[in-house]
C-alpha cells in the first residue's frame, strides 16, 4: 500500500481522483494548494486530534497550545503526572480529560502509537477505538495525518460534509452514511480526497476546517 508521505504522493493521488471522477477537476481548480498534512506519529499527535473534537480549528489550536505549554514535553507520563488543575488551566472539557488520560494510560501500558501506523487500517482502527473516548473519527484522522494512509475518508467530519455538498451541489449536505457511499467511488485515494475537500472548504469558507494534528506540513 502506497503511503502519503510527500506532496508528490498527494499530486499523484489528485491526478488519479480526477481520472476516476471528472467532477473533481473543478473542485481541484478551486481548492488551491492541497497541503500534505502529515505529522509525526505518537502521543502528541493523537492528543492534538482529541483536543480538536467538536470545536473550531482556532479553539483547538489555542487549547492545544496551552496544553503543550503546561506539559512540556507532552508525553503520556507527563500528562498522567500533571494533575487535574492542569486540565482546567488548559481549558479541556471533562470528556476530553478522560480520553487523554485513557490514551496516556494505554500508551504507558504498552500501546504502540507509532506501530499502529504500520498496521492495516481496519486493524489499527480496532485497536484505537478500544480505548475509552476514542471514536472512529479520531482514529481515522490519526491514521490520515500520522500514518499517511491513502484510503481513509472521515465521513463524520462536518467540514467534509459541507465541502462535498457545496462542491457537488448536494443540498442538504450529505450525512455520514451518504458520504461514505459517495466516497466509495474515490477508492483507493480517499485519503487524498479528504485533503482535497478540506482545501476546498478553506478556499470557499475562508477558514481552515481540517482538524489540526501536532504540527502538520
Residue 73, preceding bond cis, omega within 30 degrees?
A: yes
At the top level of CATH, the class of 43-145 is mainly alpha
Per-residue pLDDT tens over the stretch 14-40:
999 999 999 999 999 999 999 999 999
CA–CA dist 120, 106 (Å, integer): 20
CATH 1.10.1670.40, applies to 7-37+151-205 = yes
Per domain, the residue ranges of the chain are: 7-37+151-205, 43-145
| C-alpha distances out from residue 217 to 70, 147, 182, Å | 24, 13, 28
Per-residue pLDDT tens over the stretch 50-61:
999 888 888 888
Element (H, E) at 199: helix 190-205
- As given in the structure block, the three cell numbers for residue 138 are 479520531
Same fold, 7-37+151-205 and 43-145: no
Q: Which residue pairs, CB below 8 angstroms and at least 24 apart, start in 168-173? A: 168/23, 168/27
Q: Whole-structure pTM over 0.85, yes or no?
A: yes
CA–CA dist 134, 137 (Å, integer): 8
Amino acid at each position: 500500500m502506497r503511503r502519503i508521505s510527500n506532496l508528490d504522493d498527494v499530486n499523484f493521488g489528485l491526478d488519479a481522483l480526477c481520472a476516476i471522477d471528472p467532477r473533481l477537476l473543478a473542485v481541484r481548480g478551486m481548492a488551491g494548494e492541497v497541503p500534505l498534512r502529515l505529522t509525526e506519529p505518537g502521543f502528541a499527535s493523537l492528543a492534538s486530534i482529541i483536543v480538536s473534537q467538536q470545536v473550531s480549528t482556532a479553539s483547538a489550536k489555542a487549547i492545544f497550545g496551552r496544553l503543550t505549554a503546561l506539559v512540556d514535553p507532552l508525553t503520556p507520563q507527563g500528562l498522567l503526572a500533571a494533575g487535574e488543575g492542569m486540565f482546567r488551566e488548559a481549558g479541556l472539557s471533562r470528556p476530553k480529560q478522560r480520553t487523554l488520560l485513557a490514551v496516556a494510560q494505554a500508551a504507558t501500558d504498552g500501546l504502540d502509537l507509532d506501530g499502529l501506523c504500520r498496521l492495516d487500517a481496519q486493524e489499527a482502527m480496532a485497536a484505537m477505538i478500544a480505548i475509552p473516548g476514542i471514536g472512529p473519527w479520531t482514529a481515522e484522522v490519526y491514521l490520515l495525518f500520522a500514518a499517511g494512509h491513502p484510503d481513509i475518508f472521515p465521513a463524520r467530519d462536518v467540514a467534509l460534509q459541507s465541502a462535498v455538498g457545496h462542491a457537488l451541489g448536494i443540498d442538504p449536505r450529505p450525512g455520514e452514511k451518504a458520504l461514505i457511499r459517495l466516497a466509495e467511488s474515490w477508492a483507493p485515494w480517499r485519503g487524498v480526497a479528504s485533503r482535497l475537500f478540506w482545501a476546498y472548504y478553506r478556499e470557499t469558507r475562508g477558514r481552515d476546517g481540517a482538524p489540526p494534528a501536532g504540527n502538520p506540513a
